[in-house]
Amino acid sequence: MSTPDRHHNLSLEELDRRSFFHPNTDLRAFAAGELGDPVIMEGGKGIRIHDRTGRSYIDAGAGLLCVNVGYGRDEIADAIAAQAHKLAFYHAHGGHASEVAIRLTQRVLDLAPRGMRSVFWGLQGSDAHETMIKLVWYVNNVLGRPRKKKIIARHRAYHGLTIMAGSLSGLPQYHRAFDLPLGPVLHTQAPYFYRREDGVQTEAAYAQACADELDRLIQAEGPDTVAAFIAEPVMSSGGVLPPPANYWPLVQQVLRKHDVMLLLDEVVTGFGRLGAWFGAELYGLDADMISISKGLTSGYLPLAGSLVSERIWRVLETGSTQFGPFAHGFTYVAHPVCAAAALANLDILARERLPENAGSVGAHLLAELRRRFGDHPLVGDIRGVGLLAAIEFVADRATRRRFAIDLKIGQRISHAARDEDLIIRALPDGDIIGFSPPLIITRQEIDDILDRLGRAIARVTDALIAAREFHPPAE
């Protein structure tokens, strides 16, 4: 039998490598030490985070697009402690609640896009999406439409990695080894304007083409079998893909035509990242359900929600007569300590006008990215909305030709940025790096980030040229 001090002679790094099961990590290489020592973070303040060696980094990713109010906010920590002393936990089943959870629910609905009626609480985006899909199926059972169950998502989408959320996600690396996708899940094209087949096609024409493809898919499957369409207002992890002009009005027209629900994934875009409290507000979206998570607590504690519209709520109430008590929920639904963290976080977002800051500083970020790197021979596209932006790197700007996959350009630039004490994220399925800094960031801090990024890109470019893996165009 093991004892508590069995591994007392091992370093923290050795213990990590021996026992910590890391997500999205090459398990064999990590365990063998081929990836270097684990990076063990110890503290943070503002937009910076430091590891246990004392090395400080600018976090231009806000953790995983979640630390909207920045690190080290005592106000949130104090709210967590106060609630833990008062009531650390009680469940929400069978009509139970806590005051802090009730206050949070109403606060979120007051901020939410028009038409939202109620919130079902969970812990992360993945389970919020699981909840929404179960609600879709439940509603259609109540309405006597047992065949109307298929869910359409988009290629390149990221909605989480549980079985159903992973199935909805449209990135092949999250499917191959896990027998996904499962269930009645379909995928349509992403609004990836830069990668349109016809390079001279206008945004308006491309948006119409996307809507037409969705329409054809629904008609081919049978509108009586298609229940919902799930999408982010702006695709985030799939490459930061702002919708082309008129995309959302055209898509909503198709959904209304076929009586298909709109499930809006605002896990990343909610609570200010796009320069508005919600992406639905920015793009005039009329959703049936909305998922929220990351910016809700700025990552200080896990919390997520599935918002349902008045129309959906009326059907749910009817379902109780037909099926009895609503048979879905988790142990930690509306956890009071998490709710306290969320309320304190929302106070900061509102008081410091951080959604507005994301809009103004985000415009500066996008303009500076284009000014500094728009003509760089490796850069194919620069895009973004608010404090969500990306650079896509290509081997040939004229033809938009990609680099060979094994060159891993995005990862190399991300690693080179680490040498500049800058954390940026290489996005999956393409040589794309993403920017999603805390919403507290200033223009001066953006300029500092881009100075560091410029040095990182220059080093990678020089290495590619020296290895004859890239041939810059003749001037």
Beta bridge partner(s), residue 432: 392, 427
Contact 294/66 with Cβ under 8 angstroms? yes
Helix (H) or strand (E) holding 29: helix 27-31
Q: Which of 23-37, 124-138, 169-183, 207-221 has the lowest mean pLDDT?
A: 23-37
Contact 282/275 with Cβ under 8 angstroms? yes
Contact 128/292 with Cβ under 8 angstroms? yes
Mean pLDDT over 261-270 rounds to 98
Contact 208/202 with Cβ under 8 angstroms? no
Per-residue exposure over 349-365, b if at least 16 CB sit within 10 Å of its own CB, e if not: beeeebbebbbebbbeb
- Measure the CA–CA gap between 474 and 318, rounded to whole angstroms: 69
Reply yes or no on whether the pLDDT at 4 is more than 80.
no
Mean pLDDT over 99-106 rounds to 98
- Compute the half-sphere exposure of residue 160: CA atoms within 13 Å on the CB side of its CA: 24
**pLDDT value at residue 99:** 98
Reply yes or no on whether the pLDDT at 185 is more than 70.
yes
307 phi, psi to nearest 5 deg: -85, 135
**pLDDT value at residue 374:** 97
**pLDDT value at residue 36:** 86
Interval 46-77: pLDDT, tens: 999 999 999 999 999 999 999 999 999 999 99
**pLDDT value at residue 260:** 98
Q: What is the dihedral of CA 279, 280, 282, 286, to 10 degrees?
A: 160
- Measure the CA–CA gap between 440 and 238, rounded to whole angstroms: 24
Which residues lie below 8 Å from residue 417, measured CB to CB, with a gap of 6+? 423, 424, 433, 452, 453, 456
- Give the Å distances, CA to CA, from 174 to 25, 168, 177, 374: 13, 10, 7, 31
Query: 75-351 — its CATH code?
Result: 3.40.640.10
**pLDDT value at residue 1:** 46
| Tokens found for residue 212 | 């037409």
- Measure the CA–CA gap between 198 and 306, rounded to whole angstroms: 38
| Tokens found for residue 433 | 């790096």
Mean pLDDT over 117-132 rounds to 98
Expressed in angstroms, the distance from the first to the final Cα of the chain is 70
Domain regions of the chain by residue span: 39-71+354-466, 75-351
Interval 155-181: pLDDT, tens: 999 999 999 999 999 999 999 999 999
Place of tokens 């590619």: 464
- Measure the CA–CA gap between 288 and 313, rounded to whole angstroms: 10
Q: In the β-sheet with 150-154, what is the strand arrangement from edge to edge?
A: 116-122, 304-309, 289-292, 261-265, 226-231, 150-154, 185-188
**pLDDT value at residue 437:** 98
**pLDDT value at residue 9:** 82
Interval 348-388: pLDDT, tens: 999 999 999 999 999 999 999 999 999 999 999 999 999 99
Q: How confident is the model at residue 6 (pLDDT cuts 50, 70, 90)?
A: low
Contact 257/229 with Cβ under 8 angstroms? no
Query: 39-71+354-466 — its CATH code?
Result: 3.90.1150.10
Interval 430-461: pLDDT, tens: 899 999 999 999 999 999 999 999 999 999 99
**pLDDT value at residue 472:** 81
